[in-house]
Structure 1
Amino acid sequence: MKKCMFVLLILSLFLTGCWDRRELNELGITLALGIDKVEDEYQVTAQVVVPSEISSKTSTGRSPVTLFQATGETVYEALRKITKISPRKIYPGHLRTLVLGEDLAEEGIAESLDFLSRDWEFRSDFFVVIAKDMTAAEVLNVTTTIENIPANKMFNTLKTSEASWAATNAFILDELIANLTSDGKEAVLTGIIVTGEQEMGSSKQNVESITPSARIEYNGLAVFKKDKLVGWLTEIDGRRYNAIVNEVQNTVTAISCPEEGKATLEIIQFDSKMKGKMNKGKPEVDINIKVKGNVGEVECQINLNDPETIVELEKNTEKEMEERIKSTIETVQKQYKSDIFGFGNAIHRSNPKEWKKIKEQWDEEFPEMTANVKVDVKLVHTGTVGNSFLEEIEGR
């Protein structure tokens, strides 16, 4: 009996209970955070859920979220200072979206991310985006339709756009940090903007009309060098970037018909492989892309029942895609000089000894290196009809 009591006494030392337990009604559930640089301080904006407004039984029709904001010498300090105005302690365990202001990004984002990666309350599965031509606070101050919580709208829109349009990237914190610290690859982040009448964005009227006065929209890719924003890729270049780094899941693209007019292809399968090599002492990469797609729309007179027409469409698509991708590579090389494609990483994998020799000079090597692009396109289906009815209309 004494022996059992002794064992129970020892075990009790390790069973400390929930010493850090907090009640739900003591927490301010934060689904979106914004970080800006205002002069020499960090400004943190928290988008916090209003519990009574997300319940169908107690909702009064007011906004389902509220914003709290504070500044501090560090992100941690600013976040903690929000307790001066919030009745509940900010809890970021369910964070969905982190918005970084453009001014902050131009100065460097590494320091502001340290706390988020270190604090145990933050999970790392939230998306990180950059406010383009505005502050993060301005983005978070916009009401949204369909998804009445703006943080959910931003999260779901980015996930859907990445999967179906291929011009955006849904990077989580761990992926961003990996790119920031990787040898031979720089980071990119998706840009977010507010379109329309920005001053109307926070009003209730913004979501009461069919067409909101202000909308949150994703636009372009932010190009980084180390942890600093150096420029923006257009939506077109963003799609080509994703093609190079094999991040295309599904998208559509317009291509030229053999003579005149356009056809639209739905890309249903995409595979891009990058291989680095050294050619006469100079770094090169081979980019081989295989595409499978369907004909989704025809705005020209072509005979889709003729196999030769399909072959010609495939060749036209291959040529156009190769030219477009090469153009984007040259733009990044000459304009930004930032290896966002991971060409250096490819050289490192294939020639580790050679990479050691050129690693320190990669900023000079990257803008001058050669990228060989080869695209192979196969068209699988032409839809539920053969030739377009446009041909019959024009023949009347």
Structure 2
Amino acid sequence: MIKKTICLLIIISLILPLEGCWSRKELNELAIVLAAGLDSTPEGNIVLTVQIARPSALGGSQSGQQSGGGAQQNNVWVVSQEGESVLDATRYLESKVPRHIYWGHTVILILGEQLAREGIRKSINFFSRSPHTRETIWVMAARGEARDVLNSHSELESTSAQSAGRMIRAGIGVPVMLKDLSMMLADKGINPVLPRIELTPSGTPQGPGMPENLTETNTQQSRATIHAEVALTGTAVFNDDRLVGWLDYHETRGLLWLQDKIIDGEVTLPSPTEPNKKISIDITRGSTRVEPFYDGANIWFDVEIQMEGTLLEQQSIEKLTNPHIFNNIEKNAAHRIEDKARSAVEQAKYDYGVDIFGFGQAFHRKYKDAWPLFEDRWNEVFIGADINIKVKTYIRRTGLTTNRISEQ
């Protein structure tokens, strides 16, 4: 009898903690956030903008079209709310959204320019701390307001958030997830960078179009004919958590080389025999090795970059079977990559005064004992350090033809 009682008590104690699905939310009760944007107000508050999927638009086979073949619709609902913090704005937002706000499918987080210049730590804390958001969200900085970027649609993808996510995964800009940004903010050997996103005029919509929101196109006529597409146009440079400036597209390529993050791309250079004509090389492989040196007084870095590629376009008619010409093309390609890398270094050093390449991290790994002497003033040390860049390029193939078809 005693054994039966003990067994019963054990069974009851095991069953009681099983609380079931008391906190479950059905799919039709969720407002799925695809993208979020943060802006600041003059009073110091935060404006949270969310791009919420519209199930009726995304669920059908003709996404963004009415069932009767009518005018084009938005696939998302974009709504904003001001608050003293992100969580505060979220709570107020719940009074406008008739469903439970769900962050699990958020693709991108966009930080507005003014907010980024004031400092981003306080703004991203919610997304880093909340168990409902993911650390794999792509983070970007807007040129202008994040709200304007989110209030747009894509001509090819279902939403502008998906369009931006696909571009960053394809290696168009500097890829930065929320977890990467958090680590950069915590590490004194590198300053954060984020891809710059903005709306750009991108052709005329085919068929019935939706009004666009480009600042430059305020008249009703131009708003109906100019499409605004999200585009990655460069890189945002930060000193600690404050935005200090931008890198353009070519400087961004130099940054990617120095960070060893080149995925693909191309190098275009003048022909060795006809400088007014171009040769383009498709990058198939790239690697970068950074070696720091410290002699007790001076710090310098040797950077070795290697690129392999395929020559895929030739406007000139020189013979690629000529070893001298082929070697000249490889050397010119190396000079072009070196110029982009040096341009990024000079911009970071002399215009912004920050190490955005991770040279401090490389120095820390090699000289652990000396690092405490420099970590609190690493940006100053970086400005005075010599950066020696050496590039080697190898053209492995010339496509389906060796020489261009002669004009004669």
TM-score if structure 2 supplies the norm length? 0.89
Query: Any stretches of 5+ residues in structure 2 without a counterpart?
Result: 67-71, 214-222
Q: CA deviation at 1:328?
A: 2.2
2:147 alignment partner AA: A
CA offsets 1:180-237 (integer angstroms, 9 cap, x no match): 1112111100011111399x9xx72569x99852111111100011000000001000
| Cα separation, 2, equivalents of 1:193 and 1:323 | 26
1:322 to 338, 343, 353: 338
**What is the rounded CA distance, in whole Å, between the counterparts of 1:300 and 1:139 in structure 2?**
41
Q: Name the counterpart of 2:190.
A: 185
Distance 1:216 1:268, change over 3 A: same
Structure 1, unaligned stretches of length 5 or more?
none
CA contact (8 A) 2:188 2:376 kept: no
Q: Mean alpha-carbon deviation: is it higher for 134-143 or for 303-312?
A: 303-312
Contact between 2:141 and 2:196, CA under 8 Å: does it hold in 1?
Answer: yes
Residue 290 (1) aligns with residue 312 (2): no
Q: Which of 57, 82, 86 is the matching residue for 2:93? A: 82
Q: Separation in 1 of the partners of 2:295 and 2:319?
A: 44
Aligned residue pairs, count: 382
2:147 to 120, 123, 137: 137
Contact 1:283 1:347 in 2 (8 A): no
SS in 2 for 1:231: strand
What's 1:262 paired with? 278
Change (3 A) 1:236 1:211: farther
Name the counterpart of 2:217.
Answer: none
Deviation track 1:302-355 (CA, whole Å, cap 9, x = no partner) reads 211122322221122223322332232122100000100111111111112222
Is 2:28 the counterpart of 1:31? no
Give the % identical residues. Answer: 29
Deviates more, 1:140-149 or 1:16-25: 16-25
Residue 169, structure 1, aligned to residue 179, structure 2: no
Name 2:325's counterpart in structure 1. Answer: 309
What amino acid sits opposite 1:32 in the alignment? Answer: A
Distance 1:273 1:288 in 2: 5
Partners of 1:365 and 1:151 in 2: how far apart? 39
Per the alignment, in what secondary structure is the counterpart of residue 293 of structure 2? strand
- What CA distance in whole angstroms lies between the structure 1 residues aligned with 2:269 and 2:147? 40
Q: Distance in 1 between matches of 2:9 and 2:374?
A: 65
**Deviation string for 1:362-384 (max 9, x for gaps)?**
23211121001111111100111
What is the aligned partner in structure 1 of residue 264 from structure 2? 250
Partners of 1:57 and 1:347 in 2: CA distance? 54
One-letter amino acid of the structure 2 residue matched with residue 70 of structure 1: Q
8 Å contact kept, 1:139–1:193: yes
Q: Indicate conservation of the 8 Å contact 1:41/1:72, yes or no.
A: yes
Contact persistence 2:202–2:226 (CA under 8 A): no
For residues 300 and 288 of structure 1, the distance between their equivalents in structure 2, rounded to whole angstroms, comes to 30
In 2, Cα distance between equivalents of 1:239 and 1:57: 38
Runs ≥4 residues deviating over 6 A = none
Cα RMSD between the aligned structures? 2.3
Task: Give the distance between the partners of 1:123 and 1:57, measured in 2 at CA.
Answer: 29
Q: How far is the alpha carbon of 1:275 from its aligned partner?
A: 1.3
* Partner Cα distance (1:385, 1:330) in 2: 39
What's the TM-score once normalised by structure 1's chain length?
Answer: 0.91
Q: Secondary structure at the match of 1:352?
A: coil
Contact 1:34 1:140 in 2 (8 A): yes
Change (3 A) 1:268 1:347: same
Question: Which residue is 2:240 aligned to?
Answer: 226
More helix by share: 1
How far the C-alpha of 1:147 sits from its partner, in A, is 0.9
